[in-house]
Amino acid sequence: MTRANIDVERLREHFRTMARIRAFEEAAEAGQKSGEIRGAVHLSVGQEAVASGICANLRRSDYLVSTHRVHGHTIAKGADVTAMMAELLGKAGGTCQGKGGSMHIADFSIGMLGANGVVGAGIPIAAGAAHAVKLRGGSEIVACFFGDGAVNRGPFLEGLNWARIYDLPILFICEDNGFAATTRTRSLTGGPGPAARAEALGIPARIVDGNAVEEVDAAAAERVTRIREGGGPQFILAQTYRLKGHTAHDPATYRPAAEVEEKQRRDPIELCRETLLLRGVPAAALAADEAAARVEIAAAVAAARAQPWGDESLAWRDVQDMGAPA
Amino acid sequence: MTLMSYLEAGKRALAEEMRRDPAVWALGEDLGRGGVFGQYKGLAEEFGPQRICDTPISEACIMGAAVGAALVGTRPVVEMRFSDFALCAIDELVNQAAKARYMFGGQGRVPLVVREPVGMWRSSAAQHSQSLEAWYAHIPGLVVVTPSTPADNYGLLKAAIRCDDPVVYMEHKDLWPLEGEVEADGEALPLGKARILRQGGDLTIVAWSGVLRTVRQAAEALAGTGVAAEVIDLRTLYPWDRETVLASAARTRRLLVVHEAVAIGGFGGEIAATAAEELGVRVKRLGAPRLPVAYAPPLEAQCRVSEAQIVAAARTLL
Ligand SMILES: Cc1ncc(C[n+]2csc(CCOP(=O)(O)OP(=O)(O)O)c2C)c(N)n1
């Protein structure tokens, strides 16, 4: 698929999803700045096309394993934004009852097996989920997101090799946003990069423009079909850019403002808007999509705010069965 | 004496040691831009990218490489950014760093320092809040240090860098902004020496790291009701200062140990058991319940030892 022949309705759906993610991230950023949202919040502003393009090809029953930069993936997979916002606010109605916060969002009801506070730790977990699917003869696939920084950790090698030798139904998505915290990842990554590493382990890899949602969607569609047909693990390297700091507290002074300005011009939502306008969708309709997204997220924030904190007894629950703390 | 923060004091100590000894160098993620908390700010500019070495996110290799580099004569300071991430390098620390000297019959030494910031800080939840010092105190071969003041962070980090054993050096994240007087260009402090923060004859309270702030408040509160608590900052967990602690407990006949870490299997048990064995005094331990640290403030609070709990525990000993 190219820009020219993507279905307009499908692209419009991407636009809506990306607008919802953006609105969520903006609310999360505001909440972190006001202190209402605690802990560390990692925003995916500028990376929405990766989340939307990949997850549009997943079924509700498919599994998702994410990272600390988790909001976009989870929204695109279909999570309830009020429950997500309640989690960010630490409320009892949060996806994890307020026990995890932004960095530990999970929603098993949609196959979302968890964000992770430890870089790279999700990769073997995703391999294990795919292993179990194969073991029980299931038809689900696993989508495993990680950042470009994670490819320098051992679990990347171990998880990819595992997926290959057991021929597992798993799609690895490396989101290359250029940075690992304050570090330019390429400066500390040897060789030609993540896709070549995957290929070296026998996993077919594709490199896509992670800001062009139709391109991500097309690549994901093709790879997911292969996996569903029994083709084994696949790898997508989505090249994108982190428009905000590493966390919502990070002013990202380690990179020139001009660089960010330039990248802003390739904002995935704006690129998608351009295409839709060319395809005859009225600007007002797109503005209405964005307004609807903001209204939805504002309502989620209000509903989450109105929720109570969890009862203290919640802290003592779900630790373990044998010898549970009392 | 200069007023500086706990964070600043650690940075000063490292810079001075790097100036003093060209074998000292530091490695870890984001160090080139000052480290995740800013505790390396300006050091790359002074010492260059070779000695303030920016690493990939490769904890196992960061620690393993430090072991190798230590075995051939350098003195690496390893930054793990959160003690929680050091768990990605536990083999390199526990099986390699701690054992190389012994296994190889004393042919080599591993004079590395691994900085592992610990503790609850800004609602960081279960994977960024742990206090795992007892794990390391359990491992033969390791020294474990837990500074609680700027002066200690300065003097003890210097000592840790000069120490020929591998040192697990645990700063408390919540103490970074704490200010105090530090002797600039001062001396290293001895490892393994506790400090009596407050004298008292009614009971001995031993603690370390961040929770000492709460312990001091509790001691004040106890003093208000006529109970004189002697408060000891252990400072080094291994080797711990048995002499100071036991001398105090022998006088007061009552010993309370308080730590932020989970009480069960915590290092408080070691101290309490030793005092009971050696002196037959009454002992009590206080730590977190055996819970992961939750995100939401009222849930997280369940893991925090409170002033009221300390006062109540002290009273049960009286
Ligand atoms: C094992 C481990 N080491 C270090 C960290 C601290 N840390 C959190 S996010 C991050 C950068 C990750 O970069 P990348 O994987 O590219 O993801 P991005 O943040 O760019 O989305 C680092 C170093 C961590 N969470 N886990």
Q: How far apart are the first and last CA of chain B?
A: 40
Write down the pLDDT at residue B298.
97
- Catalytic positions of B are 128
Reported as a single tens digit per residue, the pLDDT across A55-107 is 999 999 999 999 999 999 999 999 999 999 999 999 999 999 999 999 999 99
User: What pLDDT is stored for residue B189 in this prediction?
Assistant: 97
Q: What is the percent of chain B where pLDDT is above 70? A: 100
Mutational pocket test of ligand 1: of A119, A182, A185, the residue with most ligand atoms within 8 Å of the beta carbon? A119
B133-160 pLDDT, tens digit per residue, is 999 999 999 999 999 999 999 999 999 9
pLDDT above 90 covers a percentage of chain A that reads 97
- Taking alpha carbons only, the member of B92, B211, B93 closest to residue B146 is B211
pTM (two decimals): 0.95
Please tell me the distance from the alpha carbon of residue A184 to that of residue A5, in angstroms, as a whole number. 35
Ligand 1 neighbour A71 (Cβ under 6 A):
no
**Do residues A98 and A91 touch, judged by C-beta distance below 8 A?**
yes
pLDDT tens-digit map of A217-272: 999 999 999 999 999 999 999 999 999 999 999 999 999 999 999 999 999 999 99
Measured CA distances, A297 to A25, A45, A287 (Å)? 10, 15, 15
Q: In chain B, where does the domain assigned CATH 3.40.50.920 lie?
A: 195-317
Look at residue A3 and tell me whether its pLDDT is greater than 80. no
Interface pTM, i.e. ipTM: 0.92
Single out the residue of B201, B208, B171 nearest to residue B305, CA to CA.
B208
- pLDDT tops 70 at residue A4: no
Show me where the domains of chain A are located. 8-306
Looking at residue B112, what is its pLDDT?
98
For residue A39 the two structure tokens come to 């802990």
Where would I find the H helices in B93-181? 100-103, 133-137, 150-162
pLDDT for residue B184 is more than 90: no
Mean pLDDT of B123-132: 98
Instruction: Look at residue A292 in the predicted model and tell me its pLDDT.
Output: 98
- Centroid of chain to Cα A171: 13
Angstrom CA distances, A133 to A47, A53, A136, A138, A319, stand at 29, 23, 5, 5, 26
The CA distance from B179 to B186, in Å, is 17
Mean pLDDT score across all residues of chain B: 98
Q: What is the DSSP letter of B95?
A: I
Which pLDDT score is estimated for A264? Answer: 97
Q: What is the mean pLDDT of residues A278-283?
A: 97
Q: Which residue of B has its CA nearest to A148?
A: B57
Q: Where in chain B is the domain with CATH 3.40.50.970?
A: 2-182
Contact A310 B57 (CB under 8 A): no
Q: What is the dihedral of CA A123, A128, A133, A135, to 10 degrees?
A: 150
Pick from B301, B120, B117, B313: which is nearest to B215 by CA?
A: B313
Q: Does A86 touch chain B (CB under 8 A)?
A: no
**Do the Cβ atoms of A181 and B29 come within 8 Å?**
yes
Return the H-helix or E-strand segment holding A223: helix A213-228
Q: What is the pLDDT of residue A326?
A: 80
Pull the structure tokens for residue B4.
Answer: 């500086």
> Which tens digit of pLDDT belongs to each residue from A285-298?
999 999 999 999 99
Q: What residue type is A288 in one-letter code?
A: A
Q: Is B295 on the interface with A (CB under 8 A)?
A: yes
Q: Can you give the pLDDT at residue A130?
A: 98
Determine the CATH number of domain B195-317.
3.40.50.920
Determine the Cα–Cα distance for residues B271 and A38; give it in Å rounded to an integer. 35
Instruction: Look at the domain A8-306 and name its fold.
Output: Rossmann fold (3.40.50)
- How large is the average pLDDT for residues B271-295? 98
Nearest to B166 by CA among B116, B88, B115, B113: B113
Residue of B57, B129, B264 to mutate, testing the A interface (most A Cβ within 10 Å of its Cβ): B57
Q: How far is the CA of B73 from the centre of ligand 1 (A)?
A: 31
**B30: three-class secondary structure by DSSP:** coil
Pick the closest to residue A57 from A201, A234, A196 (CA basis). A234
- Chain B interface disruption, residue of A87, A89, A316, most B CBs within 10 A: A316
Mean predicted confidence (pLDDT) in B27-46 = 97
Residues of A in contact with B122 (CB under 8 A): 38-40
Q: pLDDT value at position B222?
A: 98
Q: Look at residues B92, B85, B175 and name the one whose alpha carbon lies nearest to residue B130.
A: B85
Q: Does the pLDDT value for residue B77 go beyond 90?
A: yes
Does the structure show a pLDDT above 90 at B255? yes
Q: What is the per-residue pLDDT for A280?
A: 97
Does residue A244 have its Cβ closer than 6 Å to ligand 1? no
Asked whether the beta carbons of residue A315 and residue B124 sit closer than 8 angstroms, the reply is no
pLDDT tier, A1 (very low <50, low <70, confident <90, very high otherwise): very low
Is A161 in the B-facing interface, judged by CB distances under 8 Å? no
Instruction: Render pLDDT for B306-317 as a digit per residue (tens, 0 to 9).
Output: 999 999 999 999
| Core vs surface per residue B187-211: b (16+ CB within 10 A) or e | ebbebbbbbebbebebbbbbbbbbb
Do A289 and A12 meet the contact criterion of CB atoms below 8 Å apart? yes
Beta bridge partners of A234: A171
pLDDT the model gives residue B185 = 83
CB-based contact (8 Å) between B57 and chain A?
yes
Fold of B2-182: Rossmann fold (3.40.50)
Q: What is the C-alpha to C-alpha distance for residues B58 and B231, in angstroms, rounded to an integer? A: 40
pLDDT of A325: 86
Protein residue closest via CA to atom 12 of ligand 1: A180
Mean of the pLDDT values across residues A163-182? 98
Nearest CA-CA partner of B240 in B277, B280, B191: B191
For residues A14 and A173, what is the distance between their CA atoms, to the nearest angstrom?
A: 18
For residues B114-132, give the mean pLDDT: 98
Q: Does any CB of chain A come closer than 8 Å to the CB of residue B108?
A: no
